[in-house]
Structure 1
Amino acid sequence: MCDTCGCSDSDVRITDHAHTVVMEQDILAKNDELASHNRTHLRESEVFAINLMSSPGAGKTTLLERTIRFLGTPCAVIEGDQETLLDAERIKATGAPVVQINTGAGCHLDASMLHRALHSLAPARGSTLFIENVGNLVCPALFDLGEAARVVVLSVTEGPGKPLKYPHMFAATDLVLLNKVDLLPYVDFDVAEFERDTRRVNPSAAILPVSATRGDGLTEWYDWLRRPDRS
């Protein structure tokens, strides 16, 4: 029983939960409105924006370094991390324009952050924009940035159960890159099980095994990036 208003503990939990849900809906609605603005701006600029998401250490930055050097088309990158400029410095070394967003305690990028970064970066017309989201398989799935496509990178070192543990992330993606397949002989990872679980939450997602270090599957990745219907 609450001494202040006389309600039961269960009433307090229900009220707090409802208030939280309303706040979350309001936040997401505002984000989606700005994401729509970003999407229109990117489409009019003929910039193909990809929201690249993964757990920390899955190999997103290594993949981007190799992709920028070998894709053969103009690229730009927005880097999302809680702290440091380490990944932005790695991208800068490839020659691609890059902007770093540090979120502090935040666990994801949102449409407002992307909006500000786009004005700073000003990607060239006709370029591919890679948005490397904060390493996290939960929150980034909830926030539309205005991207044209979503790509999830998963390393075989993470284990095969991730699509079922984090279904919102895998349900929202267009392509899953199964990275570090060069390590398959040394880890307990069942590729068939992973593909089956991914199909359970997202029957339409493409799955591409790759190795960002050895080069496996990267030609198919580049072809996906260049496909004419990508926008």
Structure 2
Amino acid sequence: MCDESVDVTQAVLAKNDGLAANLRRELARRGVTIVNLLSSPGSGKTELLGRILARAVERGIPVAAFTADLATENDARRLARSGAPVKQLLTDGLCHLEARQLRVHVENWLPEDTALLFVENVGNLVCPASYDLGESLRIVLMAVTEGEDKPLKYPTAFGSAHLVVLTKTDLAEPADFDSEAFDACTRRVNPGVEVVRSCARTGEGVDTVLERVLAVRDGAAVHRPPLAPHPHGHVHEYPHEDTGLAAGRLS
């Protein structure tokens, strides 16, 4: 029974990867760059994304966004304040987005002149990490209030990130957040990945994240994470012997 379950999972992921690859090619031909945002609930990614969208609109960059939730259209209303076209995707209980869902909405809604498409995934660092959406850039976010060892607890998500964004940095001191420990944990699961510090309240990191996205749009090389989000290969393992993770070392 266990082997059959694994086979079904592999087949589902393989089908999704094929759809994602096709979507990535089609949108590339249209000049659209997809950015997939992953995080836990409450990381502040909606607020940060709203600031990024507003900055892109100010600069005349054709940008749009999808935001996914199990229920409500609250985040779409918040993001629409940026002036960018925004559409809410309701998953009806599904804990992640899949390429087939995104494709339908891209075909039926995406404005023709869109150059950047941000996709705010469901707040979850488990299932969404396994599904390629056709993105060119995968950004994983976490707040300082979540703890320095979060990357070690969710190695698939952080290990597949092209860019990591640390949010709510204004709360680092009251949360007793150890920034050096966080950087070490991040390097364990994704050596060489850039970590951008951000604070939506002050605007810290907003321009930096947008510039990284624009660089990818313009053809800049993307960081290659150990668990490349496309293609996945459907093997979610991390080379512990190279990182010290298996031995539980923190430095």
TM-score by length of 2: 0.83
2:166 corresponds to 1:178: yes
Q: Which moved more, 1:26-35 or 1:117-126?
A: 117-126
Corresponding residue number in structure 2 for 1:37: 22
Q: Please give the secondary structure, in 2, of the residue aligned with 1:40.
A: helix
**Residue 57 of structure 1 pairs with residue 42 of structure 2:** yes
The alpha-carbon deviation at position 198 of structure 1 amounts to 0.7
Alignment of 1:67-146 (within 5 A): 67-71=52-56, 72=59, 73-125=61-113, 127-146=115-134
Q: Alignment identity in percent?
A: 42
Q: 1:230 deviation in Å? A: 4.3
Alpha-carbon deviation of 1:222? 2.4
Distance in 1, Cα, partners of 2:220 & 2:51: 20
Please tell me whether the aligned partners of residues 176 and 205 of structure 1 are also in contact (alpha carbons under 8 angstroms): yes
For 1:199 and 1:156, locate their aligned partners in 2 and report how far apart those are by CA, in whole Å: 17
Instruction: Write 1 or 2 for the structure with the bigger share of helix.
Output: 1
Contact 2:80 2:86 survives alignment (8 Å): yes
- SS of alignment partner, residue 55 of structure 1: coil
Over 3 Å counting, the alpha-carbon distance change for 1:176 and 1:19 in structure 2 is: same
CA distance in 2, matches of 1:222, 1:145: 20
Confirm or deny: 8 A CA contact 2:137 2:213 kept in the other structure: no
1:183-202 deviations in Å (ceiling 9; x for gaps): 11210211111111111111
Q: Which structure 1 residue ranges, 5 or more long, are not aligned?
A: 1-15
- Residue identity opposite 2:78 in structure 1: R
Counterpart CA distance in 1 for 2:109 and 2:120 is: 14
Measured on the aligned residues, the alpha-carbon RMSD in Å equals 1.3
After the TM superposition, which of the residue ranges 89-98 and 42-51 deviates more from structure 2?
A: 89-98
Residue deviations 1:164-203 (CA, integer Å, cap 9, x gap): 0000000100100000001112102111111111111111
Secondary structure of the corresponding residue to residue 51 of structure 1 = strand
Cross-structure match for 2:51: 66
TM-score, with length taken from structure 1: 0.90
Q: Tell me if the contact between 1:47 and 1:124 (Cα under 8 Å) persists in the aligned partners.
A: no
Deviation at 1:83, TM superposition (A): 0.5
Instruction: Describe the SS at the equivalent of 1:185.
Output: coil
Q: Deviations over 1:51-108 (max 9, x none)?
A: 0010001011101111111132121001110011111111222221122111122100
